[in-house]
Amino acid sequence: MGRCEWKRVFDQVKPTPEQEQAMLDRLLQEQKEVKPVSRMKKMTAVLLAAALLLMACAFTVAAGVDQRLLALFRGDEQDAQQITEGVVSVEESYTYDNGWTVEIEQVLVDRYSLAVLVDMIGPKGVVLNGEDCFVDFASEIIPEDGEGVGSYVSGSTVLEDENPEDNRISFLWQRGPSTFLKSGTQSLIGCEITLRPTWLTQGGSRGIIADFREDKRTFTVKLPEQDSGWTYQLGLPLLVDEETMTLESLYISPISAACFVNGTPHDSRMWGPPGLSGVYESLVLNMENGDSVAMSQSVSQTYNPESGEGRLVFQTEQIIEPENVVSVTVLGQTFSLDGLAPAD
């Protein structure tokens, strides 16, 4: 049974809110009709009904997040509840004149990072094993004031292929909150993003497998209004190459971490080496239970040479609960979050 068939089966067995209430009412009604009934038995029925509803709700949440997104972060159903507010189900597809079909499945977003789950389906007879493949989009983020920024993409990741001999391949395409070679960083919360596929390549831009640039088909996605992340205002000294910068603030979400730093105008430490180029490998989130969570990749790094401001955004290696982060280690220096309240 294919992925689409499984999805239809899950959608059919997943109870609606009305069905959930009916289940509870029916269980309680049955207890009223059977006499005599002890208080303990009635309580058991209520607890059983509550457990069934909780299981149904947990299944609904897990089913709402594509399992391939969870697998990327080594997540489970409990982790799905942490990111569900940032997931937008799109499920739109378009078939081009060249026989290729692009399917936009879901978008995962927080304040400063965005990932698009996309399936590419080739014409009959095409075999896609994903080796050294890359998909790209032209994109624009349009805030509510109508002024957008162009794409700044960190790349695409080929997802595990259950059938490498077929004509389907899945990617996670990611972009940051900035325009290429410009310093501004824009919040993605509440914005609208446009996605226009450009090409699918293998082994670099010269190895074009499919070219979509002549067709201007654009997918438009409204991003969530809620932000799953927390921002901490710090204003603390950060030693970089034996000289001090200021770690102004930290942003921590279930899937990313961002550092906002201030140096001096035209500060060469922003790019290194080593300078801030060492932040990616050194940045660690220290959790309340003693675990440490590292970064899996860099999403974007921007720098304003006139003001000396730098913004660095990274994806975490696993889904976390921001409220359980007690300190952050950057370039070997640990900054406690104990007693700090997240900014509004």
Q: Looking at residue 330, which CATH number applies to its domain?
A: 2.60.40
Last residue of a domain, one of 222, 246, 278: 222
Residue 267 CA to residue 238 CA, distance in Å, equals: 14
Q: Which residue has the tokens 């900054």?
A: 335
pTM: 0.75
43-57, 258-272, 285-299: segment of lowest average pLDDT? 43-57
Q: Is residue 22 part of a domain?
A: yes
Whether pLDDT at 221 is above 60? yes
Residue 162 CA to residue 170 CA, distance in Å, equals: 10
86 touches 228 (CB < 8 A): yes
The domain that contains 95 carries what CATH number?
2.60.40.1630
* Angle ∠(247,251,252) on CA atoms, nearest 5: 130
CA 319 to chain centre: 9
Whether pLDDT at 1 is above 80? no
Q: Are residues 46 and 120 in the same domain?
A: no
Q: Are residues 246 and 216 in the same domain?
A: no
Q: Is residue 74 part of a domain?
A: no
Residue 11 CA to residue 106 CA, distance in Å, equals: 16
Q: Are residues 126 and 192 in the same domain?
A: yes
Q: Is residue 280 part of a domain?
A: yes
Domain count, the chain: 3
How would residue 179 be classed by pLDDT, with cut points 50, 70 and 90?
A: low
Taking only the tens place, the pLDDT of each residue in 272-302 is 778 888 999 999 999 999 999 999 988 888 8
Residue 296 CA to residue 133 CA, distance in Å, equals: 19
Q: Are residues 153 and 260 in the same domain?
A: no
309 touches 262 (CB < 8 A): yes
Q: Helices then strands (H, E): number in the chain?
A: 6, 18
Q: Is residue 76 part of a domain?
A: no
Q: Are residues 101 and 199 in the same domain?
A: yes
**Identity of the amino acid at 253:** S
Q: What is the pLDDT of residue 184?
A: 57
183 touches 302 (CB < 8 A): yes
Q: Are residues 298 and 327 in the same domain?
A: yes
Q: Is residue 341 part of a domain?
A: no
Residue 140 CA to residue 283 CA, distance in Å, equals: 29
Q: Are residues 202 and 328 in the same domain?
A: no
Q: Which residue has the higher pLDDT, 167 or 154?
A: 167
Residues 310/316/320/323 CA torsion (nearest 10 deg): -10
Q: Are residues 119 and 236 in the same domain?
A: no
How would residue 205 be classed by pLDDT, with cut points 50, 70 and 90?
A: low
Tell me the three state secondary structure of residue 3. Answer: helix
Long-range contacts of 36-43 (CB under 8 A, 24+ apart): none
Q: Are residues 144 and 212 in the same domain?
A: yes
Q: Is the backbone of residue 91 left (phi > 0), alpha (psi -120 to 50) or beta?
A: left
Mean pLDDT comparison of 115-124, 164-173, 302-311, highest-scoring range: 115-124
How big is the chain, counted in residues?
Answer: 344
The stretch 40-44 carries a mean pLDDT of 50
Q: Is residue 107 part of a domain?
A: yes
The stretch 66-81 carries a mean pLDDT of 86
Q: Are residues 109 and 142 in the same domain?
A: yes
Whether pLDDT at 11 is above 60? no
Mean pLDDT comparison of 1-5, 24-28, 133-137, 158-162, highest-scoring range: 133-137
Tell me the three state secondary structure of residue 197. Answer: strand
Q: Are residues 172 and 247 in the same domain?
A: no
Tell me the three state secondary structure of residue 122. Answer: coil
65 touches 85 (CB < 8 A): no
338 touches 327 (CB < 8 A): yes
Q: Is residue 46 part of a domain?
A: yes
Q: Is residue 70 part of a domain?
A: no
Last residue of a domain, one of 180, 196, 222: 222
The Cβ of residue 43 has, within 10 Å, a number of other Cβ atoms equal to: 11
* 84 closest CA partner among 113, 54, 107: 107
- Evaluated on CA atoms 88, 105, 139, 313, the torsion sign reads positive
224 touches 85 (CB < 8 A): yes
Give the list of residues 6+ apart from residue 41 with CB closer than 8 angstroms, or none.
31
Q: Are residues 255 and 321 in the same domain?
A: yes
Q: Which domain holds residue 330?
A: 230-336
Last residue of a domain, one of 191, 222, 253: 222
